[in-house]
Structure 1
């Protein structure tokens, strides 16, 4: 690959928005889930996984289940992503909140199947 093409690809990568969306951490043994939103889904899922591995996750119930069942009992999933929009004033935060509310109707906060 020539330098000009490589430079152009690197610049495009730097200008692109990170993947935004709704994610879930699913306990495959109990079916319990943590559903949340992020403006950088990949980074957020990596952070959750790292905190769980280190034993420092802030959600006590999730941390306790991780210790009990182990890493292989959990799935980290991107449920939905938001595509980049051409409108410069598009409200990504509002769109994330709206979509999260839709997902949480299926798994309400405070229900036995939710970690929240």
Structure 2
């Protein structure tokens, strides 16, 4: 591929919106869930899978179930997405306005789903 074409593709990728919002990882064997939020939903799922695959995830209960049941027992679901105001993100600082929306969105889903104790992998704050 030409260098100029690679640069153009890289630029377009860097300046486009990623899916942003709240997600849930569900263990289909025991219905336990992990809820989180991210400015890059595709990337956060890849990050979780990578950390779980190498046995180094921060959430030890989720890690233990991943080891016991395997990847096929888990599904990744997008619970709510942020609709970008514009088609194009000019700067990383533009993401700050979306970052501010995530805690309230995530808290709403945490209250609704209560993924704690027997129902989830999170601890109440």
Structure 2 length-normalised TM: 0.76
Deviation at 1:56, TM superposition (A): 1.0
Partner of 1:77: 77
Separation in 2 of the partners of 1:108 and 1:11?
Answer: 40
Partner of 1:46: 46
Which consecutive aligned stretches of 4+ in structure 1 deviate over 3 angstroms post-superposition? 6-13
Partner of 2:121: 115
Q: Deviations over 1:73-100 (max 9, x none)?
A: 11112222112114x6972122111111
The Cα RMSD (Å) is 2.4
Number of equivalent positions:
112
Q: Deviations over 1:49-71 (max 9, x none)?
A: 11111111110000111111111
Partner of 1:29: 29
- Check if 1:94 corresponds to 2:100: yes
**Structure 1 unpaired stretches of 5+:** 1-5
Partner of 2:55: 55
Separation in 1 of the partners of 2:24 and 2:115?
Answer: 13
